[in-house]
Chain A
Amino acid sequence: MRRLLVAVPYVWLVVLFLVPFGIVLKISLSDIALAIPPYTPTLDLSEGWTGFKAFLSQLDLENYVFLTSDDLYWKAYLSSLQIAFLSTFFTLLVGFPVAYAMARAAEEWRPALLMLVILPFWTSFLIRVYAWIGILSTEGFLNQFLMWTGVISEPLTILNTNTAVYIGIVYTYLPFMILPIYATLEKMDGSLLEAAEDLGCSRMQAFWLVTVPLAMPGVVAGCFLVFIPTLGEFVIPSLLGGSDTLMIGKVLWEEFFNNRDWPVASSVAIILLLILIVPIILFQRNQQINKEADQ
């Protein structure tokens, strides 16, 4: 029974990660074809071992070589990395003060504030992104409001620019930043700050020397939780971004749907995964260190 329980995460890993990964990897080594499915070779098990060998011999790295032949791909990866980095930074910039304020709020208010942060999850993510179209468009609420207050006389073009993408990502992923930071700040012993003050720190120094280092595990967790999905983000850039918003998620979509080139699309996906593995491993290590520190 215990062995069975121990096996659960491994089964999970194999079924939900390794098997799909293997399939995508296999397709990335195949060639495009006009057939069902639209690539070749396909594995024919009826031929037995020889069929398998024949299948293996037809796989090659051609698609990966192709990715290097056009600067579109590495530019898209770079641009995605840039957008992911900046979005994570902006999310942290907004999320930390929110989490801090929540953790400093009166105890009886905290569940309500926490609820407010989680509440948007009750609506479809897509609908919330669509709502931003209504807010940011030229005739949208934001422009109407700003023109009404007289701050601007001409409507701002925000929708369909990278600015809108950043707004959308920061908005969407904010709870993923707030919650881990809040969790670390909330369990922080208030007497630590008093101790810092007692030992000669000003409030500001105490914040930088005690609060910030102690919030680091939460900050790191939040940053990864934002950075990793943002890198492959497709929906937000395609709804809020402009035609020049270049992200690898969109390139992947085009390879898959417009070019119907599943093998090249799979290679793009494999490389994206390889790029993500580095931060994912760092994230895991951070979690591990925190766990040890808690013990």
Chain B
Amino acid sequence: MAASGNNEVFAPWKDRDAVPLIRIDQITKRFGDFTAIDNVSLDIYPQEFFALLGPSGCGKTTLMRMLAGFETPSEGRITIDGVDMASVPPNKRAVNMMFQSYALFPHLSVWDNIAFGLRRDSQDKDQVAARVEEMLKLVQLSQFARRKPHQISGGQRQRVALARSLAKAPKLLLLDEPLGALDKKLRQETQFELMDIQEKTGTTFVIVTHDQEEAMTVASRVAVMNNGQLVQVETPEVIYEQPSSVYVADFIGDVNLIEGSVAALGEGAELAWAEGRASLIGQLGAALSKGQSATFAIRPEKIAISSDEPLDRRNRVRGKILDIGYLGNLSTYHVELPEGPVVKCEVGNRSRIERRDFTWEDEVWLSWSDTAGLVLAR
């Protein structure tokens, strides 16, 4: 997404010749008895917008702080641009960080905050001033240069923090929950601004977030983390469409999960899920063998709802409408199957005058294509 302007698809991780900017090599970090990062290896390429996604306590912040130099790995090696970071202190790394709290210096004006890092490099005054002006323009805050941080809004502070961390033109910019303090609307706007700036500056961004929507929106690749380990590292599309595990499928977006066992393996996989019912057919999302217990994962928007039995589809189940949610752009139906599971199904509201085909307690058919679902290891 970061390089969507190019016709060529931006995917250096698929290019065998591409040289990663960051190599995280078998990193482990322990705090006392607690293992925050458990043997993680990861390559991040130049100009990537890379997201570390996971619930709080999954280790994503620790991993980022190790990149910035605020934590040292217990084991393993981090190299940035080919240089081993083991003995490089934070102030000597070509890495800048935008803090979750923004960490703006309250005693300095917006201008001086942005100039802070530049002045440390003993650049001459005019150079510093030019760069600060450039940054102010980039984040559209030129008219607020003389204000103190407590005199501007939360969104403006966020942009000052961004400008400050970009001012030194770092090779790598780390963003720790950069939008967490903003309200939803502002957050969405800012996401696109961030992408825009990333594209303009060509800086490699690593963002830490617990918000899957944010990660999906901004990132070229997303690393889903859990319990100090990487669960899946892929582009947002792949993460969404082909999650490698139930955990990822469940963490990213809405998903219906139906338990069963592998009945047959062929082009796809068949999952036996209830006595006397036809198996569910989907793509094989993980290495499984016949008879193994597995989970069938199907996104709600991929399910069609009808009153007549859709005989043309192999995946069809019958149930009773339990609940209807009208969300404006779409409607959600919760359908209870006689076998037990409640399946969620989303239907877009394309026409303004909605045809209320279904109502509570209606018997309906749910169906989906053979390739819509995934059979995943439990």
Direct contact of A and B (CB under 8 A): yes
Q: Give the interface of A toward B (CB within 8 A).
A: 189, 191-192, 194-202, 205, 209-210, 213-214, 216, 293, 295
| A to B CB contacts below 8 Å, 23 in the list | A189-B103, A191-B101, A192-B105, A194-B68, A194-B99, A195-B103, A198-B68, A198-B90, A198-B95, A198-B117, A198-B165, A199-B116, A199-B120, A199-B164, A199-B165, A199-B168, A200-B117, A205-B120, A210-B105, A214-B106, A214-B107, A293-B148, A293-B150
Residues of B within 8 A of A198 (CB): 68, 90-91, 95-97, 117, 165
| Complex Cα–Cα for A191 and B90 (A) | 13
- Other A-B contacts than A194-B70, A198-B165, A199-B96, 7 sampled, CB-CB below 8 A, are A191-B99, A194-B99, A197-B90, A198-B117, A199-B168, A200-B117, A210-B105
Residues of A within 8 A of B117 (CB): 198-200
Contacts between chains A and B (CB distance < 8 A), count: 60
- Mostly, the A contact residues are helix
Residues of A within 8 A of B148 (CB): 293
Closest Cβ–Cβ distance, residue B95 to chain A (whole Å): 8
Residues of A within 8 A of B68 (CB): 194, 198
| Complex Cα–Cα for A195 and B101 (A) | 10
- A197 contact from B91, B101, B105, B150, Cβ within 8 A: B91
Closest Cβ neighbor of A192 among chain B residues: B103
Residues of A within 8 A of B120 (CB): 199-201, 205
| Complex Cα–Cα for A209 and B117 (A) | 12
Q: Kindly list the 10 A-B residue pairs having the minimum CB-CB distance in the complex, ordered from nearest.
A: A199-B117, A200-B120, A195-B103, A191-B103, A197-B90, A213-B107, A191-B99, A200-B91, A198-B97, A197-B91
Residues of A within 8 A of B91 (CB): 197-202
Q: Are A197 and B168 in contact (CB under 8 A)?
A: no
Residues of A within 8 A of B89 (CB): 197
Asked whether any CB of chain A lies closer than 8 Å to the CB of B121, the reply is yes
Residues of A within 8 A of B116 (CB): 196, 199, 209
Residues of A within 8 A of B106 (CB): 214, 293
| Complex Cα–Cα for A192 and B107 (A) | 11
- B121 contact from A200, A202, A213, Cβ within 8 A: A200
Closest Cβ–Cβ distance, residue A218 to chain B (whole Å): 13
Closest Cβ–Cβ distance, residue A23 to chain B (whole Å): 44
Within 8 A of A (CB), among B162-209: 164-165, 168
| Complex Cα–Cα for A295 and B149 (A) | 12
Closest Cβ–Cβ distance, residue B158 to chain A (whole Å): 14
Q: Are A195 and B99 in contact (CB under 8 A)?
A: yes
Residues of A within 8 A of B107 (CB): 213-214, 216
Closest Cβ–Cβ distance, residue A246 to chain B (whole Å): 40
